[in-house]
Amino acid sequence: MKKIVLFIAVALFAVGANAQQRQVGPKEPVAFAKEKIANMAKYVEITKEDSTKLQKIFVDYQKEATAMEDRVKRSEIVKALQGKLEAALGKEKYKIYREKSAADPANQRGMHR
């Protein structure tokens, strides 16, 4: 009986330690940018030129947003990000991306990770 309790305690500890490792903090800006660009590429074609522009936008955004504590300022940064993405992709391509992304069930609240 003691072995079973000990085994369960060790298993719970291992699961808790693993969960904490995943929640370390914000991603490194380049990794964050690559992940975001890959996500966008699921919905619209991203050219090499688009990728270069988007990488700079997302890296700058990640650096700025992680330094922000104020929610109001953070929401302003997000709005500015949307404008920059639209400028980088073009109005029509950005519109298509937003529509397809919003329609994807995986992007609905509570459905991702």
Query: Residue 111: its pLDDT value, please?
Result: 47
Q: What is the pLDDT at residue 84? A: 96
Q: What is the pLDDT of residue 21?
A: 52
Evaluate if pTM is beyond 0.75. Answer: no
Each of the 113 residues of the chain gets a pLDDT tens digit; together they read: 666 655 565 556 665 655 555 555 667 999 999 999 999 999 999 999 999 999 999 999 988 877 777 777 888 888 899 999 999 999 999 999 999 999 998 887 654 44
pLDDT of residue 22: 52
Alpha helix stretches (DSSP H) within 23-47: 29-41
**Helix-helix angle 71-89:91-103, to 10 degrees:** 120
d(CA 82, CA 87): 9
As to burial, measured by CB atoms within 10 angstroms (0-12 exposed, 13-18 middle, 19+ buried), residue 86 is: middle
Q: How far apart are CA 74 and CA 61, in angstroms?
A: 10
DSSP designation for 45: -
Is residue 105 within 8 A of residue 92, CB to CB? The reply is: no
Residue 50: both structure tokens together: 């688009």
Beta strands in 1-113 (DSSP E): none
